[in-house]
Amino acid sequence: MRKLELPVLCIDARHAKAALKMQINKSDRNDAVGIARIMQCGWYKEVRVKDLDSHAIKALLVSRALLVKIKRDVENQIRGLLKNLGLVIGRAKMNVFLLRALQLTEGRPELAAAVAPLLKAREAIEQQIEDLDRKVLRLARNNAQVRRFMTAPGVGPITALCYLATIDDPTRFKKSSSVGAYAGLTARRYVSGEVDWTGRISKCGDKMLRTYLYEAANVLLTRIAKWSALKAWGIRLAKRSGLRKAKVAVARKLAVILHRMWIEGTEFRWSSKEATNQPA
């Protein structure tokens, strides 16, 4: 029997629910007929299926993000156990956390018995994160488009790979400005009668991409010394509306700029400090 090749479709949930509820008798056959009628009316949207490479990259990044979260949770648990006894680790990164925890539990066998297994678990998780980081760097080096993404300030290999895997095909966006809304970085708006209300960002779309773009914007505004028109715009916005809103706005603009770079096959265009008319 010849199989029918049907396009991958996403039916609007509201229209589908309303149409199916109008049926008197509920059955799988009647639901299928109702869905067919919805498709005839055009109440559906086509969904592009990403290729396997994009899914593989995203799976790698999801695994890394999960391990980073687990490591942070283990560290917070260790901090909590020690803080109950008035022992504070303080700000500690890399091996400093391990050395500080061992120092505080020295001479306290009952406390060391509780903390030592968590420290071993943290060490094992840290090793797995380092292995994934090496794989991420290898993928970034072997992909020309990712290397072009990384010429943008604040964009590292993880953000660049996440953007590549999430967008997958830049031609599915007619306008680069649409990518900001796709990542959930545009403001909600409600207009009805005399009411015209603009709220916070929608937070629709991929949460991981939105998070990494926000982190990239934070690095751009707070750590990168090299000047650019994007940084100048973000600094002016921060002075007017606050640093937090400026980071969100820069993250949205970064999403748009990366898409434009992808379409045109170009690297990030830097600009001098003088060209931005920004005082020292």
Query: Per-residue DSSP letters for 133-174?
Result: HHHHHHHHHT-HHHHHHTTSTT--HHHHHHHHHHH--GGG-S
Which pLDDT score is estimated for 35?
77
Strand-strand pairing, 195-201 and 44-46: unpaired
The tens-digit pLDDT sequence of the chain (280 residues) is 444 444 444 445 555 666 677 677 778 888 788 777 777 776 666 777 888 999 999 999 999 999 999 999 999 999 999 999 999 999 887 789 999 999 999 999 999 999 999 999 999 999 999 999 999 999 999 999 999 999 999 999 999 999 999 999 999 999 999 999 999 998 877 677 766 666 788 888 899 999 999 999 999 999 999 989 999 999 999 999 999 999 999 999 999 999 999 999 999 998 755 444 544 3
- pTM for the structure as a whole: 0.81
Q: Is the dihedral of CA 168, 174, 176, 181 positive or negative?
A: negative
Residues composing the chain? 280
Read off φ and ψ for residue 201, nearest 5 degrees.
-65, 155
Q: In a 3-state reduction of DSSP, which class is residue 6?
A: coil
Which pLDDT score is estimated for 14?
58
Which pLDDT score is estimated for 7?
45
20, burial (CB in 10 Å: exposed 0-12, middle 13-18, buried 19+): middle
Which pLDDT score is estimated for 16?
63
H-type alpha helices, the chain: 13-21, 28-41, 52-83, 95-105, 109-141, 144-149, 157-167, 178-182, 207-222, 229-241, 243-264
CA 150 to chain centre: 16
Distance CA 209, CA 215 (A): 10
Distance CA 220, CA 154 (A): 5
Integer Rg of the chain from CA: 25
How many CB atoms sit inside 10 A of residue 147's CB? 14
Which pLDDT score is estimated for 9?
47
Q: Please name which of 62, 44, 97 lies closest in space to residue 209, comparing C-alpha atoms.
A: 62
